[in-house]
C-alpha cells in the first residue's frame, strides 16, 4: 500500500497522464477543461499532459488531432491563442495498449521523476485493473500519485467491489478520485451553502415541513455513439445509481461537523444506508421503466431506440426511469423522494424541487389547491434558485397569486464560472476529495440499486414505450398522482 496523499496546494510539477487520451471524453471534456485550468493559472508550473491511446500518433500527429477535435469545444470568448499555444506545448503522446507492458515502459521513460502524477482512467472499467497493475510494475506509482476513475464503476455490487479491491492494491483510498461530474457543477456545490449557510432554511428542512422532493435529470439527446455500451447499462446504472443518488444525498444529509472530505462523505453514506430497500412489490408499484420510440426531440425527427445503430431490435434496456423511494430516518420519515431521468425527453432539464407543506388552515377562500410553496433548484440548462410564494393580487379583495423570488446565479456573480470537469480536475491536482465518491459510498449505492435491477429481471416486464420528445411514459405521472403530487416541469 502506498502512502497517503496530502490535501494541499500543489508544490510539485504535475504529470497528468490520461488513458484514453484520444477518446470522446478526453476530446470533448478533459482537454478543454485542462486548457481552461491553464488559462486561469490553476495548473502547477511545468505541468505536462501525457495522453495515451492505441492510435499510432507521433506527437505532431496528436497535436494536430487535438487542434482539430478539441479546440471547437472551447468557447470562443475563452480562447486565447497564446494560452492555447502554451497548452499544446504541454502535450505529449504515447501509443499504448493497456494490456501491453511495452507501452508502459515507454510511458515510464517519458514521465519525470519527483513529480506529482495524476492518472486519469478515461477507459472502459474492465481495463482499470490491468492499467493499475502495469503502472505498479513500471514503478510509476508513489506517495505523490493520484488516480481518477471515470464512471461507471462496475455493473453491479460485485463488480464494483472487484474494481475497488484491484485499484486499492496499488493506491490508498486517499489517492483514489471516483469522479461524478455532477458534483462539479456550481449549483450542486452551492447546495451545501444553501442548506448549511442559511439559518432561515435549516429549521424547515425536514418532515413534516417538506412533503416531497423531486429530482429530474432529463436529456434531449439519444444514445449516439454509446449504443453498444448503453444497451448493456441502461438508465438506472448510467444515471440513477450515481448522479441522482448523489443529488439526493446532498439534499437529505445531516450537517457535517466540518468541510473535511470524510466528514461530508460520512453524512452522505448515512443517507444511502437509510434508503428504503425495495421489495418485489415495491418495484412493481413504485418504479417505471421506459424506452423511447421515434418522434421529435430538440426540433429534429429522431429514430426509436431500437433503431439506433448497435441496439438489438428486441432490446429491453430502459432509456427512462422514474421511481419513488424513502429515506428512513427521523428527518425524512414518510417523505417521498421522486427520481426521474430519461433520454429523448421534451427538453433538457436538471432540477430539484422541494415541496413545502400547506399552511395547517387557510383563511383565504380562493387559496390554490396545489401547494403554493416550492424551492426549485435548477442545475441546467441555466443555473438558478427559485422560491415560489403566494402574494396578494393588486386590487380590492384578498385574491392570491403565486410569485417567484429568483436568484439567477449566472447574473448574480460577475466572475467566470468554471465547468464541472475543470473544477474537479483542479480538485484532483490540489488533493481535495470532498466532491469524489468514497469506496463505501459507492458500494452502498450499488447495494440499493442491485435489488431493483434483479426485481425488473424477475418481473420480466418490457419497458413502457414513450414518444421521443415527450416527458416519458404516462405511468410516471401516475406514480406521483397517487399521493396528490405532479412533476414540476
- Residue 49: predicted pLDDT: 97
230 and 351 share a domain?
yes
Q: Residue 258, Cβ neighbours under 10 Å: how many?
A: 9
Q: Among 132, 155, 178, identify where a domain stops.
A: 178
Dump strand ranges (E) for 64-180.
91-95, 116-121, 146-149, 176-178
For residues 240-259, average pLDDT: 95
Per-residue pLDDT at 126 exceeds 80: yes
Half-sphere exposure of 122 (CA within 13 A, CB side): 25
| 279-318: pLDDT as tens digits | 999 999 999 999 999 999 878 899 999 999 999 999 999 9
| 337-359: pLDDT as tens digits | 999 999 999 999 999 999 999 88
For residues 4-9, average pLDDT: 46
* Average pLDDT, rounded, for the chain: 91
159 and 232 share a domain?
no
The Cα 275–Cα 325 span in angstroms is 7
Catalytic residue, candidates 170, 181, 243, 435: 243
Structural domains counted in the chain: 2
375 and 260 share a domain?
yes
| 213-247: pLDDT as tens digits | 999 999 999 988 778 889 999 999 999 999 999 99
271 and 243 share a domain?
yes
Could you list the residue range(s) of the whole structural domain that residue 339 is in?
A: 183-418+439-481
Active-site residue, 38 included: no
219 and 348 share a domain?
yes
Is the Cα torsion angle 243, 247, 252, 256 positive or negative in sign? Answer: positive
Per-residue pLDDT at 57 exceeds 90: yes
List Cβ<8 Å contacts ≥24 apart for 264-272: 264/192, 264/434, 265/433, 265/434, 265/437, 265/438, 265/441, 268/441, 269/438, 269/440, 269/441, 269/444, 270/329, 271/327, 272/245, 272/441, 272/444, 272/445, 272/448
* CATH of residue 251: 3.30.360.10
93 and 229 share a domain?
no
Please report whether residue 6 resides in a domain. Answer: no
Q: Under the phi-then-psi rule, with left for phi > 0, alpha for psi from -120 to 50, and beta for the rest, what region is 234?
A: left
Per-residue pLDDT at 399 exceeds 70: yes
- Residue 100: predicted pLDDT: 85
Per-residue pLDDT at 269 exceeds 50: yes
For residues 427-447, average pLDDT: 95
353 contacts 376 by C-beta, under 8 angstroms:
yes
471 and 409 share a domain?
yes
Per-residue pLDDT at 457 exceeds 80: yes
Q: Per the omega criterion (within 30 degrees of 0), is the bond before 381 cis?
A: yes
Residue 367's pLDDT band (boundaries 50, 70, 90)? low
| Cell output for 289 | 421503466
| Cell output for 261 | 472530505
- Residue 455: predicted pLDDT: 97
Which has more confidence, 5 or 203? 203
Amino acid at each position: 500500500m502506498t502512502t497517503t496523499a496530502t490535501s494541499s496546494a500543489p508544490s510539485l510539477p504535475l504529470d497528468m497522464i490520461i488513458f484514453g487520451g484520444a477518446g470522446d471524453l478526453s476530446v470533448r471534456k478533459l482537454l478543454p477543461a485542462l486548457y481552461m485550468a491553464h488559462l486561469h493559472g490553476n495548473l502547477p508550473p511545468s505541468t505536462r499532459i501525457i495522453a495515451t491511446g492505441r492510435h499510432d500518433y507521433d506527437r505532431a500527429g496528436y497535436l494536430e488531432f487535438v487542434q482539430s477535435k478539441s479546440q471547437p469545444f472551447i468557447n470562443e470568448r475563452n480562447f486565447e491563442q497564446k494560452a492555447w499555444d502554451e497548452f499544446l506545448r504541454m502535450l505529449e503522446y504515447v501509443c499504448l495498449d493497456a494490456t501491453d507492458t511495452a507501452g508502459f515502459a515507454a510511458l515510464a521513460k517519458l514521465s519525470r521523476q519527483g513529480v506529482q502524477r495524476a492518472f486519469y482512467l478515461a477507459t472502459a472499467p474492465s481495463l482499470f485493473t490491468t492499467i493499475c497493475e502495469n503502472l505498479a510494475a513500471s514503478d510509476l506509482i508513489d506517495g505523490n500519485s493520484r488516480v481518477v476513475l471515470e464512471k461507471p464503476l462496475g455493473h453491479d455490487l460485485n463488480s464494483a467491489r472487484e474494481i475497488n479491491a484491484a485499484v486499492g492494491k496499488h493506491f490508498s483510498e486517499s489517492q483514489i478520485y471516483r469522479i461524478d461530474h455532477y458534483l462539479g457543477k456550481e449549483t450542486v456545490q452551492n447546495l451545501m451553502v444553501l442548506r448549511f449557510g442559511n439559518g432561515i432554511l435549516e429549521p424547515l428542512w425536514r418532515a413534516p415541513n417538506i412533503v416531497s422532493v423531486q429530482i429530474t435529470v432529463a436529456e434531449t439527446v439519444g444514445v449516439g455513439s454509446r449504443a453498444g455500451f448503453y444497451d448493456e447499462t441502461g438508465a438506472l446504472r448510467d444515471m440513477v445509481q450515481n448522479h441522482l443518488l448523489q443529488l439526493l444525498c446532498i439534499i437529505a444529509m445531516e450537517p457535517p461537523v466540518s468541510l473535511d472530505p470524510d466528514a461530508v462523505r460520512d453524512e452522505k453514506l448515512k443517507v444511502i444506508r437509510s434508503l428504503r430497500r425495495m421489495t418485489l412489490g415495491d418495484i412493481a408499484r413504485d418504479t417505471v421503466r421506459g424506452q423511447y420510440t421515434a418522434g421529435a426531440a430538440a426540433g429534429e425527427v429522431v429514430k426509436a431506440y431500437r433503431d439506433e445503430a448497435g441496439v438489438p431490435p428486441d432490446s429491453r434496456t430502459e432509456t427512462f426511469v422514474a421511481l419513488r423511494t424513502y429515506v428512513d430516518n427521523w428527518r425524512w420519515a414518510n417523505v417521498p423522494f421522486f427520481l426521474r431521468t430519461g433520454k429523448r425527453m421534451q427538453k433538457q432539464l436538471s432540477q430539484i424541487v422541494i415541496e413545502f407543506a400547506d399552511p395547517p388552515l387557510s383563511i383565504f377562500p380562493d387559496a390554490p389547491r396545489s401547494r403554493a410553496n416550492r424551492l426549485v433548484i435548477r442545475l441546467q440548462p441555466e443555473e438558478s434558485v427559485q422560491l415560489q410564494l403566494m402574494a396578494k393580487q393588486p386590487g380590492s379583495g384578498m385574491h392570491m397569486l403565486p410569485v417567484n423570488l429568483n436568484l439567477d446565479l449566472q447574473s448574480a456573480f460577475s466572475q467566470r464560472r468554471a465547468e464541472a470537469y475543470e473544477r474537479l480536475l483542479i480538485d484532483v491536482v490540489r488533493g481535495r476529495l470532498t466532491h469524489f465518491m468514497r469506496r463505501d459510498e459507492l458500494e452502498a449505492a450499488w447495494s440499493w440499486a442491485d435489488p431493483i435491477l434483479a426485481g425488473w429481471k424477475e418481473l420480466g416486464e418490457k419497458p413502457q414505450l414513450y414518444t421521443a420528445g415527450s416527458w416519458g411514459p404516462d405511468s410516471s405521472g401516475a406514480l406521483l398522482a397517487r399521493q396528490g403530487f405532479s412533476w414540476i416541469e
